[in-house]
Amino acid sequence: MILTLEDGTNQSFKIPKDQKFNVDGQMVDAFGLKKGMLVTATKIVETPTSVTTQHKNAIGTMPPPAPAADVPLLVAEGEPTPVPPEPTHAPASTEKTGTTLGSSLPAIGLGLVLLLVVWFAAKWIRGKYRT
């Protein structure tokens, strides 16, 4: 699932199996989510921690508290990616009108080949039926 975060960046999330979301009071799975819906969830990010030992004493950080049971859980798969800006004007049409000599060359070549085939066929038929 890809979500647009509050700061405007997009981020991909992996949804745990059987995860349910509350949509208008109904519990639905990921297939019940549609583009444009506002999603509220708890994001848990696992980061490596530094552990320093001194006289066999370890110092570290506690894991984040477990989210409430009724809050959807999303697992971040990568770094947030920036959202591309929307164009401020309509893009110019790339469609061309009219034909150019370059696009007509295959048709001209085919026409010449057909003309040669007809000419040789007519010459062969004339030679066969001459008395």
How far is the CA of 113 from the CAs of 52, 109, 110, in angstroms? Answer: 83, 6, 5
Nearest Cα residue to 74 out of 8, 21, 10: 21
- Grade residue 95 by pLDDT with cuts at 50, 70 and 90: low
Which DSSP helix (H) or strand (E) runs through 106? helix 101-129
Reading the block at residue 48, the tokens are 């490596």
Cβ atoms 3, 17 nearer than 8 A: no
Q: What is the pLDDT of residue 100?
A: 58
Beta bridge partners of 58: 53
Which residue ranges make up each domain of the chain? 2-82
Q: Are 34 and 40 in contact (CB under 8 A)?
A: no
Query: What pairing do the DSSP bridges indicate for beta strands 9-14 and 57-59?
Result: unpaired
Alpha carbon distance 98, 11 (integer Å): 45
15-58 per-position pLDDT tens digit: 877 777 777 777 888 788 888 777 776 666 677 888 776 566 66
pTM (predicted TM-score): 0.31
Decide: residue 64, CB within 10 A, 0-12 exposed, 13-18 middle, 19+ buried. exposed
pLDDT at 50: 81
Average pLDDT for 89-110: 67
Work out whether strand 9-14 and strand 73-76 pair parallel, antiparallel, or are unpaired: antiparallel
